[in-house]
Each structure stands twice: as structure tokens, then as C-alpha cells.
């Protein structure tokens, strides 16, 4: 995913707007035209850097998640290839080494349902109980783990169960020696291949959906960040134009000729910087 630039969206939006707007200058008397170097103002505005920083953080999150999912897909494909090669040797009556299971660890464990509160405590309650806050109020402070408090961690002996595996195949893989697999072992290996292929198909489908959604989210966020910055620039520019008695303000890119046009770029930058203090 290439790095996105906020100003590109801004220029497209402005160009589209200017192409459909006619300014009746003859109805404005007197007319005093000003212009700004919008690219320069945009690049020097601190909020632009913050907006791009937020955008890049979100892009990096998507990249990390996509890399994690792609890695899981690669592991599944390698597992299928290794298992199939071992099964082919076993069917031919040749000794083979059962590959270790690398896919089971990729599957998320099944969550343990929270125990229901004792019935006696519910029926004996006589007043409204203040609900426990869903968010950790001290999250983010030094010494705290951002919401992973002891209350939310499973107690010893209550961890979520690991996904089910094949004890027979696990034992053969742990032995690490080539052996002729019996019918039971071959059936278990064939079943593991089919299960992994199903998981692979689901993972590939989810990967494609996530990637498409990530692209749409980043485009939408880019547009929101761009016009968020532009709205703040426009608000300051509007006040500056009134103070300078400027009737019309254009982007420097679209000014082809003007005898008494006023360059408001530096004043706009200075006023934007003052508002940041």
C-alpha cells in the first residue's frame, strides 16, 4: 500500500469545485482579489503533519495485519505440501516421517464462557448497582497495561483450551523417525490435510475481504483528514480576507493574471501558527 498524500485529494476537490463555480465579478464592487500558495500553506500547517501521521499509523496497522494473515496462509500451504508428500510415501508402503503440526497453533482458541452470577446475589439486591466500568480508567498510565488488568486475565487453570490435535500424528511427529504408517495413521493424516485445506480456503477469503476493506477505509480516512485540515485553513483564511478587505481569494495555481492581486500566503501561515500557540 503506497503512502497516501493528503494534498492530492485536496487539489482534486478544489479543481472539481472551481470547474463548476462562476464568480460574477461585475456584481462585486469594489473587487479586491487575493491569492494564497495553497501548497505552501498546506505543507507548513502543523495539523497537516499530525493528520498524515495518523493516516500512516492506520496504514501500518493494516500492513501488519495483512502480513500476519499472509504468513498464516503460507504456513498452511507448506503444511499441506509436507503432509501430502508424507501421505504419498505412506500409501506406497514406504517409510515416512510425519511432519509436525504447524497449523493448529494458528487457530484462535475457543473462548471460555464467563460464569453466570450467583442467583442469590441477583434476587437479594435491593437497589441499583453501579456497573463496573468497561474501560480501565488507569489504562495508558505508567505501570498499567492498557486495560489488560488482572481482573480480565484468566486465572491459573482457567486458560482457554488449545485447539484439538491428533494425538497419533503428534506422537509420530515427535518421534521424528521414518516409519511405515498403518491405516489409522494414514486416515488421520488425510483428515488433517482436508482440515487444513478448508482452513486455508477460509483464510484466503478473509484475507481478500480484509485487504479490500482496508483499502476502502484508508481512502475514506484520507479524505476525512484532508478536508478536516482544509476546513481549519479555510476558517482562518476567511477571517484574514475580511481583515485585509479582500473580496475573492484564489489558489496561486489558478491565478493567470492580476494587476492588483494580494498575496495572503505568508499572513495566512503566520495566523495559522498563532492559533497553534
Residue 119's alpha-carbon distances to 102, 127, 130, 150, in angstroms, are 44, 16, 18, 25
Whether the predicted pLDDT of 126 surpasses 60: no
Pick from 169, 45, 151: nearest CA to 104: 169
Q: What is the mean pLDDT of residues 44-59?
A: 79
Q: What is the structure's pLDDT at 14?
A: 44
Burial, 262: exposed, middle or buried (Cβ in 10 Å; 0-12, 13-18, 19+)?
middle
Whether the predicted pLDDT of 143 surpasses 70: no
Helical ranges in the chain per DSSP H: 6-19, 38-44, 46-91, 119-123, 167-175, 183-243, 265-276
Q: What is the mean pLDDT of residues 169-181?
A: 92
Residues 6+ apart with CB under 8 A from 4: 55, 59, 218, 222
pLDDT band at 227 (very low <50, low <70, confident <90, very high): confident
Could you give the CA distance from residue 98 to residue 196 in angstroms, rounded to a whole number?
15
Note whether 71 and 203 are within 8 A (CB). no
Task: Say whether 33 sits in a helix, a strand or coil.
Answer: strand
pTM attached to this predicted model: 0.57
Pick from 241, 237, 262: nearest CA to 252: 262
Q: What is the structure's pLDDT at 141?
A: 37
- C-alpha angle 73-77-83 in degrees, rounded to nearest 5: 140
pLDDT in tens, 68-109: 999 999 999 999 999 999 999 999 999 999 999 999 888 665
Q: What is the structure's pLDDT at 149?
A: 42
Share of the chain above pLDDT 70, in %: 66
Whether the predicted pLDDT of 139 surpasses 50: no
Chain mean pLDDT for the chain: 74
Could you give the CA distance from residue 241 to residue 200 in angstroms, rounded to a whole number?
60
Could you give the CA distance from residue 143 to residue 149 in angstroms, rounded to a whole number?
11
Q: Which residues of 77-86 are buried (b: 16+ CB within 10 A; e: fewer)?
A: eebbebbbeb
Amino acid at each position: 500500500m503506497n503512502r497516501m498524500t493528503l494534498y492530492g485529494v485536496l487539489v482534486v476537490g478544489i479543481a472539481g469545485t472551481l470547474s463548476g463555480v462562476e464568480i460574477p465579478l461585475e456584481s462585486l464592487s469594489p473587487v479586491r482579489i487575493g491569492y494564497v500558495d495553497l501548497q505552501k500553506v498546506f505543507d507548513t500547517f502543523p495539523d497537516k503533519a499530525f493528520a498524515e501521521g495518523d493516516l500512516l499509523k492506520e496504514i501500518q496497522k493494516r500492513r501488519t495485519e495483512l502480513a500476519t494473515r499472509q504468513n498464516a496462509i503460507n504456513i498452511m500451504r507448506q503444511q499441506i505440501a509436507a503432509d501430502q508428500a508424507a501421505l504419498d510415501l505412506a500409501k506406497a508402503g514406504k517409510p515416512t516421517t510425519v511432519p509436525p503440526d504447524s497449523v493448529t497453533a494458528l487457530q484462535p482458541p475457543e473462548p471460555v464462557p464467563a460464569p453466570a452470577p450467583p442467583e442469590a446475589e441477583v434476587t437479594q439486591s435491593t437497589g441499583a448497582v453501579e456497573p463496573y466500568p468497561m474501560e480501565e480508567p488507569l489504562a495508558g498510565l505508567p505501570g498499567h497495561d492498557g486495560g489488560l488488568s488482572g481482573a480480565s486475565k484468566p486465572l491459573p487453570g482457567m486458560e482457554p483450551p488449545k485447539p484439538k490435535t491428533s494425538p497419533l500424528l503428534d506422537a509420530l511427529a515427535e518421534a521424528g523417525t521414518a516409519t511405515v504408517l498403518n491405516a489409522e495413521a494414514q486416515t488421520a493424516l488425510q483428515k488433517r490435510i482436508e482440515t487444513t485445506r478448508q482452513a486455508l480456503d477460509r483464510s484466503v477469503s478473509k484475507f481478500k475481504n480484509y485487504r479490500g476493506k482496508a483499502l476502502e477505509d484508508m481512502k475514506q480516512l484520507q479524505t476525512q483528514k484532508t478536508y478536516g485540515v482544509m476546513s481549519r485553513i479555510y476558517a482562518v483564511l476567511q477571517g484574514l480576507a475580511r481583515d485585509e478587505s479582500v473580496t475573492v481569494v484564489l489558489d496561486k495555481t489558478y491565478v493567470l493574471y492580476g494587476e492588483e492581486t494580494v498575496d495572503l500566503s505568508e499572513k495566512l501561515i503566520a495566523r495559522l501558527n498563532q492559533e497553534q500557540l
